Amino acid sequence: MIFDPVFIRLKALFLDLCARFFPEWVVMLASIVISAVVILVMGPVIMMYLTLLERKLLGRIQNRYGPNRVGIWGLLQPVADGIKMFIKEDIVPAHADKIIHLLAPVVTVVPSLMVFLVVPFGNGMTAVNLNIGILYFVAISSITTIPIFMGSWASRNKFSVLGGMRAAAQMISYEAPMTLAIVPVIMASQTLATATIVESQGGGFGMNWFIFTPWGLLGFIIYFFCAIAECNRPPFDLPEAESELIAGFHTEYSGMKFALFYMAEYMNAFTLSAIAVTLFLGGWQGPFLPSWIWFFGKTFLLVCVMIWFRGTFLRFRVDHLMGFAWKFLLPLSLINILIAGLWFLTPAIAAWALTAGLVVASFFVFVKLNKTFVPEKRTYVLAD
């Protein structure tokens, strides 16, 4: 495979060039700066084109074209949007807490960018191969509630505070099943490092992905639902439900500050899909094509599924949302850990039958237990 390590070769070439002219510490710094710059540029660029992809796909779902005026196929639409955001007036409410109102959108981008550090974009293309990679991801994504709190509190607006409260309740609830859904993968690969998790899914033409096991499939579904809830996308977009809360926690933001909230949301959608690919869909593993093409292909496929969900499903009700996390996903993810344990203890064919049966049985049991009470259909007889 010639094209596989092309980015690694480019970086090595540049560092070699540096080493001829500069002392050793400059080369070390350059190595860090290159990775940092690539990530800092890639995050916003991915976000820009995700907005375009989303609008195009949603347009197709709703039987219209989507943006097609700026550039060929509307390819320059994100640039036009960026310019528009920059020249919009920056409005700060009179009674807002000025400093925190300014800080919130800035802080909110930081955790979304930091997750990019541990994403394995290809074979040997992890920016920092931390040996606690997945734990780092869980820890960083647990901070994201605080900037939302800051923004909603500093705005001094009822809708903002309501949106902030909803965001926090939702994120805390969905964090628990998400973390528990990751546990079987850690059990299977015996490591927390993202690069090693991907490597343990190789073998058999690089198609030995965890999603092809019963516990992997269940874990992936739980993780993916929680991921959509974590980045506040429809059908879990209660924190910014337009019909109820105007715009939720970013009601009082305009111009570039609003764009930063938007950017964090789209970068979260990308990184959460990327981590889902890493954990369950074999990361960069796959036959024939270069590793980074496999990785980006799978990640954008998941992003497209998220957009498809947005175009298809209706928004949850608050109590349904909480019930779904605590009464359905959480017990299912706990049972999934048990099923994964059985998978490793029993021999091959028996394991398949046993775990697949258990997954299906527990799924239907929890669906049955969660059946909401529907009152009998009433008929009203009109008075004569």
Partner 1 sequence: MEILTLAAKIGAYALMTGVLLFALGVVALRNLFHSALCLAAALIGIAGLYLFFRADFLAAVQILLYVGAVMTVIIFAIMLTEHLSGKTTIQHNRQSLPAFLGIAALVTVIAKVILQTPWPVTQKALGAHTSVEGIGTALMTVYVFPFEVISVVLIAALIGAVIIAKRENPS
**Shortest separation between residue 200's beta carbon and partner 1, angstroms:** 15
Token couple for 268 = 């979260």
Which C-beta is closer to partner 1: that of 88 or that of 156?
Answer: 156
Token couple for 18 = 């540096």
SS3 content of the chain, % helix, strand, coil (to 5): 70, 0, 30
Residue 111, preceding peptide bond in cis (omega within 30° of 0): no
Which C-beta is closer to partner 1: that of 130 or that of 354?
Answer: 130
Element (H, E) at 135: helix 133-143
Look-up of token digits 């929680």 = 226
Token couple for 39 = 């990530």
Dihedral pair phi/psi, residue 120, rounded to 5°: -80, 100
Residues of the shown chain interacting with partner 1 in the complex, contacts defined by CB under 8 A: 24-25, 28-29, 97, 100, 130-132, 135-136, 138-140, 142-143, 145-146, 149-150, 153, 156, 161, 164-165, 168, 172, 175, 192
Which C-beta is closer to partner 1: that of 70 or that of 165?
Answer: 165
Which C-beta is closer to partner 1: that of 139 or that of 207?
Answer: 139
Between vectors from CA 278 to CA 273 and to CA 282, what angle results, nearest 5°?
Answer: 120
How far, CA to CA in Å, does 282 sit from each of 35, 43, 214, 285, 375?
23, 22, 15, 5, 46
How far, CA to CA in Å, does 73 sit from each of 67, 70, 248, 266?
7, 8, 32, 21
**Shortest separation between residue 145's beta carbon and partner 1, angstroms:** 5
Query: d(Cα 300, Cα 297) in Å, to the nearest integer?
Result: 5
Which C-beta is closer to partner 1: that of 153 or that of 253?
Answer: 153
**Shortest separation between residue 153's beta carbon and partner 1, angstroms:** 6
**Shortest separation between residue 58's beta carbon and partner 1, angstroms:** 32
Which C-beta is closer to partner 1: that of 193 or that of 277?
Answer: 193
Query: d(Cα 255, Cα 102) in Å, to the nearest integer?
Result: 12
Which C-beta is closer to partner 1: that of 97 or that of 244?
Answer: 97
Cβ contacts of 293 within 8 Å, gap of 6 or more: none
Which C-beta is closer to partner 1: that of 22 or that of 65?
Answer: 22
**Shortest separation between residue 104's beta carbon and partner 1, angstroms:** 10
Token couple for 309 = 């969900």
**Shortest separation between residue 1's beta carbon and partner 1, angstroms:** 32
Please count the residues of the chain: 384
**Shortest separation between residue 171's beta carbon and partner 1, angstroms:** 8
**Shortest separation between residue 135's beta carbon and partner 1, angstroms:** 5
